[in-house]
Amino acid sequence: MRTALTRILALAGPLLAVPAAAQETPRLFPTRDVAVRYTASAPGQTAQPVEAAWLAARQRWRIETPRAPGWVLLDVPAQRAQMVMEGQRMVVTLPGRGQIPLLDGLPEGAKVSRAGSARVAGHDCALWRIVSKEGNGTACLTPDGVLLRASGEREGRRGSLEAEEVRYAPLNAARFEVPPGLMALNLPQGLSGLGQALPGLLPGGR
């Protein structure tokens, strides 16, 4: 089953990957360390908190939800996604490109346009609209690249994500590393529907 987090990051991920050099487009990734507490929701599902932290120096995301037995580590330069389950002493390398939108580029033929501005969680952000064959949505990003709000539809599924708190501060780089001694497993690239294999754990599963 796909969670609200899965749905909305699948929509917002390609928007965050718009080339930063293009004019009148949102910034690619946050320019400094930041931790954001979100609320994710979808029709027919209970809203859930999502904790996302960005380590700017390494370009890594750490994403946590209360229903997951572990946390997700997204390494953007390495194009790698891992589910770290410290309680089970396991780390699972997940299929990356085509499965994790935060690691992918803008879908072919997608159109991005400015759609106004807003203020969310005490921060100003620019609204952007993305239209592609995969889905339509809007996202509100700060000038320094922090996603504050997103909503939209992808493959007939709708969801939304909104920041409740934004904390700018240097982050401990050790929290963005896989602890030593964990058993390493790999999921095959051909596996579809990561939500079926790891329900509720991973943003962007198809």
Residue type, 35: A
Q: For the whole model, what pTM was predicted?
A: 0.78
Structure token digits, residue 125: 């952000």
Higher model confidence: residue 119 or residue 9? 119
Q: In what side-by-side order are the strands of the sheet with 157-168?
A: 111-120, 123-131, 135-141, 147-154, 157-168, 34-41, 48-55, 60-64, 71-75, 80-85, 90-94, 183-186
What's the pLDDT tens digit per position in 55-69?
A: 999 999 999 988 888
Out of 14-23, 27-36, 131-140, 169-178, pick the least confident. Answer: 14-23
Report percent pLDDT > 90 for the chain. 40
> What value does the mean pLDDT of the chain take?
78
Summarised one tens digit per residue, pLDDT across range 88-100 is: 999 998 775 544 5
For the chain, what's the residue count?
206
Task: Assign 185 to helix, strand or coil.
Answer: strand
Reply yes or no on whether the pLDDT at 39 is more than 60: yes
